Amino acid sequence: MRISVQEDPFELGAESDAFAAGIENAGAVVTFTGVVRDADAGGLQAMEIEHYPGMTETALTAIAEEAMSRWSLADALVIHRHGRLAPGERIMMVATAARHRKDAFEAAEYLMDYLKSRAPFWKKEILAGGSADWVAAKEADEDALKRW
Amino acid sequence: MDVLYFAWVRERIGLPRERVETTAATVADLVEELRGREDRYAAAFADLSALRVALDQELSEFDSPLDGVREVAFFPPMTGG
């Protein structure tokens, strides 16, 4: 299990390869990548991601440990960036490995659902005109936790 | 204790962290104290349903006791992922 909270970009291919190469006895590897999206084509200049150093790592570790114990996982990886990101840049990735794909898919969804609303990150959208808005949490994201 | 603010709470209050000497028994008591300080605190803490609190880096509730707590953090609902 590896958790990384970092400002620097990450190489999706290299991270996926390294994760898959380190797995034994797993027939399924699932990866998910979150990308900064420009909702109103051309309107978004940057996304600023703030976090709570210390608590972030603790929370992500607890979430990943819970996933490891709920599903039969061989390994799990969470990488989440902070700082200023441009549209199209990768924000984060999760990877899960399991003997069978159902466990790997479900655990990846669980990781995503929890790190959306239980890991201390806050996103701010910097718009082309210079204005800035904090992204509001969605009720749907909170509701998503209920299924677990 | 150290009190930390994040995201728009930090912006409204105008600082990321401060040292607070208090005898408040619970988070809610501490919030009352802070609200009474200045308008910017009152503005930040106007609607508690829009806020979350962590005690020593663990998510907690507003009625949680502060006994033995060294670090309190206030922030809006998280938006990771």
Band (B39; pLDDT cuts 50, 70, 90): very high
Instruction: Kindly state the percentage of chain A with pLDDT values over 70.
Output: 97
* Model confidence at A85: pLDDT above 80: yes
CB B76 to CB A52 under 8 A? Answer: no
When mean pLDDT is compared across A13-17, A126-130, B20-24, the lowest value belongs to A126-130
Provide the sign of the torsion angle of the four alpha carbons A79, B55, B70, B16, taken in this order.
positive
The tokens 């200023």 sit on which residue?
A84
* Model confidence at A25: pLDDT above 70: yes
Chain B stretch 32-61, residues whose beta carbon is closer than 8 A to a beta carbon of chain A: 54, 57-59
Look at residue A31 and give its three-state secondary structure: strand
Task: Flag whether the ipTM exceeds 0.85.
Answer: yes
pLDDT recorded at residue A17: 96
| Residues A30, A138: Cα–Cα separation, whole Å | 25
Look at residue A69 and give its three-state secondary structure: helix
Report strand pairing: B71-75 vs B2-5: parallel
And the tokens for A15?
Answer: 């991270």
CA distance B75 to chain A (A): 9
CB A120 to CB B6 under 8 A? Answer: yes
pLDDT recorded at residue B67: 96
User: How do the residues of chain B divide into helix, strand and coil, expressed in percent and rounded to 5?
Assistant: 30, 25, 45
Contact A78, A94 (CB under 8 A): yes
Mean pLDDT of chain A: 95
CB B8 to CB A92 under 8 A? Answer: no
Q: How far is Cα of residue A134 from the mean position of the Cα atoms in its chain?
A: 19
Band (A24; pLDDT cuts 50, 70, 90): confident
Q: What is the pTM of this model?
A: 0.95
